[in-house]
Structure 1
Amino acid sequence: MPSYYVASDIGGTFTDTVVIDDNGRVGRYKSSTVPDNPAEGVLGTLVDAAEERGVDLAELLADVETFAHGTTIATNALLEGRTKKVGLIQTRGFGDTLTTMRGFKGTGLEEEEIKRFRTLVKQPPAVPRSLTEEVTERVDYAGRVVCPLDEDDVRRAVARLRDAGAEVFAVSLLWSFANDAHERRVGEIVAEEVPGASVTLSSAFLPRIGEYERTLTTAVNAGLRPLLGASLDSFESTLAAAGLRTGPLLMQSGGGLATFAEAEKRAAAAVMSGPVGGVVASQYLGSRDQHRNIVTTDMGGTSFDVGLVLDERPVMSNTTLIGRDRLALPSVAVRAIGAGAGSIASVRGGVLTVGPESAGARPGPACYGRGGERPTVADADLVLGYLNPDNFLGGRLTLDVERARAAIEEHIARPTGLTVEQAAEGIKTIVDARMADLVRQVTVEQGYDPADFAVFAYGGAGPLHAFSYGAELGCPQIVVPLTASVHSAFGIGSSDLTMVEELSKPLQAPPGTTDYGDALPPDEIETAFTELQDKAARGLVEAGADRETVTFTRSVEIRFRAQIHVLTVSFDDGPITAEGVNAMVARFIDSYEGRFGKGSAFPEAGVEITTFRVVAASPVPRAELETGRLPQGVGSVAGPGSRRVFSDGEWTDAAVYRAEHLHEGLRIDGLAIVELPDTTVVIGSGQEAVVDRLGGIVIHNRP
């Protein structure tokens, strides 16, 4: 019997699933997301996969070797304020930590919102002051007990929080990462006073320096755990009832998989579960085709997400931005704006705007015929002729051109005095410009030249719009992978089982240091990493990994002394030596000047290692992609057709190719449209494309 490797990604509009058999053949499936029951959307795609293979759903699921999953449950719960009520316990005198927060009012806002100075305010705290209690205790920076824990004080604080409506508890005491005894005892008292209550201890969940960030992240995690846990339990039981025999895995923000049990404990680490999958998939495919530097662009129904791959490694961030909060958890760096196929167009004050509001899956764009009346990007694409109304979702949903035209005419064309076609092209031009601007922010504003990068375009709408924003950026290649419509799901299925452990243990090299290997003792660094590696390896083994397969990536967060912000720098494999420490600091200085400009580094101030981090990974069984799948010639297949497209203010003919026309090495001159069962690819005027060995379409600008 064949084995299957399955991954799913539940987005705001569509649920994507990829099924790879043990011969490397890829099946791609999409269905509308069911917000009230996400597992239903996944089962819908799996039913399609089973029918395609001539088996029933139970037979397919019984032969699944690995099932990996990405979800927006944690993301949506945070953004919509649906988390559980958190009761927060802090050291006496520090209960205003979350209320004070950081002073950056623009964090998480789009540019237009930041410009509205009169209404620009800081976000509400993650936990209101009324649900925050202080207890008498104090530990100093070295972990020494300065003031013992007053247990009666703790019991009174827990009772007040319980009576105030706290449903879960978070404990974040000062310097608890240096000595966790007080936090552990507070956790025990909470369990005694409120049996069965969920408790998150910062010393167990996030033992790192940074009082505000640690407290914020611990509180967010506490509020998310019951919701994510319930969702994962329901998802797992639904799939098990349908015939799945293996335990599913969940994608984490850092780019690796975790068991559902581990994911529930670290719920805040799943807030970027879906978007990071596309970056991982781009890295995986790019490494096979010598694309070392990649801009990843994911245009779905709701948002446009951008990430980077540098030297075949995803660019990571020390923090995770969700809404207006920055969590102290490492993640694959992904920036997003509200610019998707479902983004709503409107005229405000005589100005045409697109997004960030989205029509979502229900009712969706006007052309879906599900009750949506406001025009969206998808409606504009249909009116302009880029979309074939009979080819959407492989023909399972017929798009209504007249509804799309009526929505654009009423809401855009009439208020602006434009024709329907001009209004539709205006919508497309604006959304393409917004996407190009975001890519510039991720590349140019970070010191990178887009000309050094290939653009990977994916998501349901990315392949249709990439020809425009990719050309505007001057990127030499735009790659639309075979897995474009389910690319994030494919990346989720291409990931390893991972465990991240970190610990803040500051080590300082004083001003004027030249021999960092002497000032930052290698044996202390080795000890810190060894402890973290042992802990991470135990976690993976408990999750079912073979200890012999576990590999480690070691890094530190390091900064110049007296500075606030840190950079993450890796350590080479092998024993820690003085030479290795000096090499690490040299890499830090190079990275710093690469980020902030030549001469910006200040080594004379000395450096400080703040946090040690270990990422342990164990490979998950997965199939390799099949190459040479495409035929070498079109044979008896009829030649491409044509369709009228409104481009640059006039109607013009575009060649139309279908999946059966494609073969390795095929060259396509623009203006052309490639209609695949699950997405549409556009090659613009002045561009040409070639089909690669994996079935991807690589677009170039003609010289």
Structure 2
Amino acid sequence: MPSYYVASDIGGTFTDTVVIDSAGTVGRHKSSTVPDDPAHGVLDTLVLAAEERGVPLDQLLADVEVFAHGTTVATNAMLEGRGCAVGLIQTRGFGDTLPIMRGFKAGGLDEEETKRFRTLVKQPVVVPRTLTAEVTERIDYAGRIVCPLDEDDVRRAVRELVEAGAEVFAVSLLWSFACDVHERRVAEIVEEEVPGASVTLSSEFLPRIGEYARTLTTAINASLRPVLRTSLDSFESTLSEAGLSAAPLLMQSNGGLATFGDVERRAAATVMSGPVGGVVASQALGARAGYRNIVTTDMGGTSFDVGLVLDGRPVMSNTTLIGRDELALPSVAVRAIGAGAGSVASVRGGVLQVGPESAGARPGPACYGRGGTRPTVADADLVLGYLNPDNFLGGRLTLDVDRARRVIDEHVARPAGLSVEQAAEGIKTIVDARMADLVRKVTVEQGYDPGDFAVFAYGGAGPLHAFSYGAELGCPQVVVPITASVHSAFGIGCSDLTMVEELSKPMQTPPGTTEHSSALPPAELDATFRQLAERARRNLVAAGAAEDSVSVAKFVEIRFRAQIHVLTVPIEAERITAADVDAMVDRFVDIYEGRFGKGAAFLDGGVEITTFRVVATSPVPRTEFDGSTLGSAAPARPDRRQVFSGGTWREAAVYRADHLHEGLAIDGLAIVELPDTTVVVGPDQTAGVDGLGNIVIENR
């Protein structure tokens, strides 16, 4: 019997699953997300996979060797405020750390919102002051106990927090990353006072400098842990009852997989679980197809997500922004806006607007016939002729063209004085422009030329819109991967078991230093990395990794002295020498000037290492998919269909999946109807099919 490698991704509108067998045959399956029971949305896709292979569901699941999963549970709970009530314990005198919020009001807001100064306010605090307690203790920056922990004070604080409604506890003492003895004792007292209580210690979860970011992230993690645990238990139970014997793995924001047990303790590390999968998939397919620099663009039903692969590696961020809160956790850098196929269009003050509000999975766009009454991007695509109403979700859902026309006419066309077709094209033009603007922010505003990148377009709606925003950006190629509709799920299946360990240990060079190794002792750097690497290896082996399969990458966060923000610098040396320390500082200067301009560096002021980080990985068993199985060379002629483009109706060639084969050349205007997505080639573009089954669009 064949072994199966399965990966699923639960989105806001659709749930996607990729099933690859031991022969490399790939199956792509989509089903509507079930918001109240996400596991059943995954189960629906697995039923489709079993039917496609002609085997019972329980047999397919019994033969699954690896099951990897991405989830939005933590993300949604955080954005919707559905986490558990956190009782936060801090050092006396620092209980206002979260309400102060560094004094910023514009965090997480877009440009338009930040301009509304009269209504600009801070976001709601994660832990209200009534659930924050201060205790007497003090450890200094060097880890020395200045004031012993007052244990009676701790017991009083715990009891008051319980009375105030605390369901879980977070402990973030001022210098706990330098010495964790007080935090560990606080955890023991909490257990004595509230047996079985869930406690998150900042010294275990996030031992890094910066009390606001560390406290915020620790508190959010504490609030999300029970929510994620409940969801994971339900998910595992549902699939186990259906026949799955393999222990599922979960995608993390850093692009790696973890066991359910490990990730429950680091719930906040899953808030970008789904979107980062697409970046990892683009990296993997780009390596096979010869693309080193990639702009990843994911247009789903709710949002549009953009990331970068630079020189073959995903661009990482030291922080993770969710809503208006910035978590101090490294993640694959992905930026998102509310621009998906389900984005709602409206006319306000005579101006046509699209998004960020979404119709979601229920009721969805009006054309789905599930009760939606407002026009969306998907309704516009259908009215314009790009979507075939009989081909959506492989024909399992017939789209209602008349309903789509009625809601566009009522809410957009008549209020704006346009025809239905003009209104629909206006909706598409606006959403395409918003997506192009986001790509510019990720490329041009970061010092990159879009002309040096290929655009990978995926998600259910990305391949339909990429011909437009890709051309506007001037990128040489728009690549629609063969896995486009389930690309994030495919990337989850491409990931490895990953464990991140970090520690803040500030080390500075005096102003004017030229021999950096004199102030940054190589032996001390080496010892710190060795300590973190041993911990990461131990945790991976405990999660089931073979000890000889673990590889470790090392990084430091560095800044110029007296500056606030840091940059991450990789350390390639196995054992650090004085020359490696000097090379590390030189690399930091290169990265700094690449980001902020030549000559911006100020070495005379000295540099400071703030945090050491190791990323340990162990490969997950998988098989490579066989691109030759994804298409045939059937010499059929394309069909024809009318499409409203450029203000007029035009004839477009329509290709089906069985038309596609390696070397096929397509002249625009053309539409490629795949069972799970639709690809559009613009009037001034051509497209071809490569050896992996990817569709590559280029401007004439």
Paired position in structure 1 for 2:670? 672
Q: Within 1, Cα distance between the matches of 2:515 and 2:127? A: 45
Paired position in structure 2 for 1:528? 528
Paired position in structure 2 for 1:690? 688
Amino acid at match of 2:622: R
Q: Within 2, Cα distance between the matches of 1:61 and 1:115? A: 53
1:517 is displaced (CA, Å) by: 2.0
Paired position in structure 1 for 2:356? 356
Aligned residue for 1:82, secondary structure, equals: coil
Q: Within 1, Cα distance between the matches of 2:281 and 2:675? A: 20
Q: Within 2, Cα distance between the matches of 1:94 and 1:483? A: 50
Paired position in structure 2 for 1:553? 553
CA contact (8 A) 1:505 1:612 kept: yes
Amino acid at match of 1:343: S
Q: Within 1, Cα distance between the matches of 2:579 and 2:663? A: 49
Aligned residue for 1:414, secondary structure, equals: helix
Task: Give CA-to-partner distance per residue, 1:70-128, whole Å, 9 cap, x none.
Answer: 00000000000000000000000000000001233221112222222211111111101
Q: Within 2, Cα distance between the matches of 1:24 and 1:513? A: 56
Q: Within 2, Cα distance between the matches of 1:612 and 1:451? A: 35
Paired position in structure 1 for 2:150? 150
CA contact (8 A) 2:284 2:494 kept: yes
Task: Give CA-to-partner distance per residue, 1:427-466, whole Å, 9 cap, x none.
Answer: 0000000000000000000000000000000000000000
Q: Within 2, Cα distance between the matches of 1:613 and 1:630? A: 41
Aligned residue for 1:629, secondary structure, equals: helix
Task: Give CA-to-partner distance per residue, 1:574-617, whole Å, 9 cap, x none.
Answer: 11011111111111100000101111111111111000000000
CA contact (8 A) 1:258 1:498 kept: yes
Q: Within 2, Cα distance between the matches of 1:628 and 1:75? A: 37
Paired position in structure 2 for 1:327? 327
Which runs of structure 2 are paired with 1:264-343 in the superposition (5 Å)?
264-343=264-343
Aligned residue for 1:305, secondary structure, equals: strand
Task: Give CA-to-partner distance per residue, 1:297-331, whole Å, 9 cap, x none.
Answer: 00000000000000000000000001100000000
Task: Give CA-to-partner distance per residue, 1:619-652, whole Å, 9 cap, x none.
Answer: 00011121333566324xx300010000000000
- 42-51 or 104-113, which moves further after superposition? 104-113
Q: Within 1, Cα distance between the matches of 2:326 and 2:6? A: 32
Paired position in structure 1 for 2:376? 376
Amino acid at match of 1:489: A
Paired position in structure 2 for 1:108? 108
Paired position in structure 1 for 2:15? 15
Paired position in structure 1 for 2:475? 475
Which runs of structure 2 are paired with 1:501-540 in the superposition (5 Å)?
501-540=501-540
1:190 is displaced (CA, Å) by: 0.5
Amino acid at match of 1:688: T
Paired position in structure 2 for 1:233? 233
CA contact (8 A) 2:633 2:658 kept: no
CA contact (8 A) 2:687 2:698 kept: yes
Q: How many matched pairs?
A: 700
Q: Within 1, Cα distance between the matches of 2:527 and 2:124? A: 41
Aligned residue for 1:258, secondary structure, equals: strand
Amino acid at match of 2:145: V
Aligned residue for 2:102, secondary structure, equals: coil
Q: Within 2, Cα distance between the matches of 1:640 and 1:471? A: 24
Paired position in structure 2 for 1:194? 194
- 664-673 or 116-125, which moves further after superposition? 116-125
Q: Within 2, Cα distance between the matches of 1:348 and 1:483? A: 38
Aligned residue for 1:382, secondary structure, equals: helix
Amino acid at match of 2:603: P
Paired position in structure 2 for 1:74? 74
RMSD: 0.7
Amino acid at match of 1:689: A
1:60 is displaced (CA, Å) by: 0.2
Aligned residue for 1:102, secondary structure, equals: helix
Question: For structure 2, which runs of at least 5 residues remain unmatched after alignment?
Answer: none
Q: Does residue 2 in structure 1 map to residue 2 in structure 2? A: yes
Q: Within 1, Cα distance between the matches of 2:580 and 2:592? A: 18
CA contact (8 A) 2:347 2:415 kept: yes
- 237-246 or 209-218, which moves further after superposition? 237-246
Task: Give CA-to-partner distance per residue, 1:525-578, whole Å, 9 cap, x none.
Answer: 000000000000000000000010000010000000110000000001311011
Q: Does residue 162 in structure 1 map to residue 153 in structure 2? A: no
CA contact (8 A) 2:631 2:657 kept: no
Q: Does residue 54 in structure 1 map to residue 42 in structure 2? A: no
Task: Give CA-to-partner distance per residue, 1:17-43, whole Å, 9 cap, x none.
Answer: 000011111100000000110000000
Q: Within 2, Cα distance between the matches of 1:39 and 1:630? A: 28
Aligned residue for 1:171, secondary structure, equals: strand
CA contact (8 A) 1:630 1:664 kept: no
Q: CA distance change for structure 1 residues 631 and 266 in 2, over 3 Å: closer, same or farther?
A: closer
Which runs of structure 2 are paired with 1:21-32 in the superposition (5 Å)?
21-32=21-32
Paired position in structure 1 for 2:424? 424
Q: Within 1, Cα distance between the matches of 2:193 and 2:167? A: 13
Task: Give CA-to-partner distance per residue, 1:242-262, whole Å, 9 cap, x none.
Answer: 111110000000000000000
CA contact (8 A) 1:592 1:600 kept: yes
Aligned residue for 2:455, secondary structure, equals: strand
Paired position in structure 1 for 2:127? 127
Aligned residue for 1:466, secondary structure, equals: helix
Q: Does residue 661 in structure 1 map to residue 641 in structure 2? A: no
Q: Within 1, Cα distance between the matches of 2:385 and 2:115? A: 36
Amino acid at match of 1:179: C
The one of 647, 650, 659 equivalent to 2:648 is: 650
CA contact (8 A) 1:299 1:459 kept: yes
Task: Give CA-to-partner distance per residue, 1:349-399, whole Å, 9 cap, x none.
Answer: 110000000000100000000000000000000000000000000000000
Aligned residue for 2:307, secondary structure, equals: strand
Amino acid at match of 2:355: G
Aligned residue for 2:683, secondary structure, equals: coil
Amino acid at match of 2:643: V
Amino acid at match of 1:260: F
Q: Does residue 260 in structure 1 map to residue 276 in structure 2? A: no
1:241 is displaced (CA, Å) by: 0.9
Which runs of structure 2 are paired with 1:400-411 in the superposition (5 Å)?
400-411=400-411
CA contact (8 A) 2:517 2:581 kept: yes
Amino acid at match of 1:586: D
Q: Within 1, Cα distance between the matches of 2:17 and 2:159? A: 46
Q: Within 2, Cα distance between the matches of 1:227 and 1:264? A: 9
Amino acid at match of 1:672: A
Paired position in structure 1 for 2:578? 578
Q: TM-score, normalised by structure 1?
A: 0.99
CA contact (8 A) 2:62 2:243 kept: yes
Aligned residue for 1:407, secondary structure, equals: helix
Amino acid at match of 1:317: S
Percent of paired sites with the same residue: 78
1:518 is displaced (CA, Å) by: 2.2
CA contact (8 A) 1:110 1:337 kept: no
Amino acid at match of 2:638: P
Task: Give CA-to-partner distance per residue, 1:389-424, whole Å, 9 cap, x none.
Answer: 000000000000000000000000000100000000
1:473 is displaced (CA, Å) by: 0.2
Q: Within 2, Cα distance between the matches of 1:400 and 1:640? A: 24
Paired position in structure 2 for 1:345? 345
Q: Within 1, Cα distance between the matches of 2:566 and 2:631? A: 51
Amino acid at match of 1:656: V
Q: CA distance change for structure 1 residues 96 and 2 in 2, over 3 Å: closer, same or farther?
A: same
1:277 is displaced (CA, Å) by: 0.2
Amino acid at match of 1:647: S
CA contact (8 A) 2:88 2:133 kept: yes
